[in-house]
Amino acid sequence: MVAHAEAHLDHHEEHPPEPHYSSRISPSILGMYLFIGSEIMLFGSFFTAYFFVRVVNGVAWPTPPFHLPVYMAFINTLILVTSSFTMHWALTSVKKGNVFGLRAGLLLTFLMGLTFLITQVTEYLRIGFNTGDGAFPTIFFCLTGLHGCHVFVGLTILLFMTIRAFRGHFSPDHHHGVEIGGIYWHFVDVMWILVFLTVYII
């Protein structure tokens, strides 16, 4: 028999070098951390602007004579929070092989997300101020609009998830698409709660 010694280190024949992974942090988790980091920086910049306008500069919130539609925003919050529950129902259903629960949960989540977005756009049209009316309206539209963009992305993901659910693409063993979409949807919900608290409540 012939001695066989390999040294991966100094020859990479006809293929790129092997990546050096460390189990300290897996690539998928690192990707999620980078995503969360970028989101924190994005929302953080807008929240920083909000605090500068309101706390440092002492701008009245809302600046008279404008009013914030707190009641409508509260109803919208309830709708979005409920949609997270239906999302969770969809995922627990697919894990148990309950196809009806998966489809109904995703469809309800999509419809409630759509209702939230339509209500927000309607609110924009009726609110009575615009971005050119001062620092307060600018920050208001930036923060709620940024979140609205995230809802739009979430709805796009949900639409594809729902279509795939109705075409039978998910099973108790294969539902990664629902899992990832669910994480994103709950994240959007958490961000809205922060926006709602800072913009409408405090």
What does the binding site for another protein look like in residue numbers (CB under 8 A)? 1-10, 20-24, 29, 32, 36, 81, 84, 87-88, 91, 178-179, 182-183, 186-187, 189-190, 193, 196-197, 201-202
Instruction: Enter the tokens of residue 149.
Output: 């963009």
CB of 189 to another protein, least distance (A): 6
Q: 43 or 124: whose CB is closer to another protein?
A: 43
The one-letter amino acid code at 69 reads: P
Q: 137 or 181: whose CB is closer to another protein?
A: 181
Q: 121 or 201: whose CB is closer to another protein?
A: 201
Task: Report how far apart the first and last C-alpha atoms of the chain are (Å, whole number).
Answer: 78
Owner of token pair 């989540």: 109
Least Cα distance to 191 among 55, 64, 43 occurs for: 43
CB of 42 to another protein, least distance (A): 16
CB of 111 to another protein, least distance (A): 19
CB of 18 to another protein, least distance (A): 8
List, in order, residues 6 or more apart from 9 with CB less than 8 Å away: none
CB of 2 to another protein, least distance (A): 7
CB of 20 to another protein, least distance (A): 7
Cα gap 165→157, rounded to integer Å: 12
Q: 117 or 189: whose CB is closer to another protein?
A: 189
DSSP class of 43: H
Q: 7 or 125: whose CB is closer to another protein?
A: 7
List, in order, residues 6 or more apart from 61 with CB less than 8 Å away: 54, 136
Contact 107, 163 (CB under 8 A): no
Q: 117 or 161: whose CB is closer to another protein?
A: 161
C-alpha to C-alpha distances, 31 to 34, 35, 36, 113, nearest whole angstrom = 5, 6, 9, 26
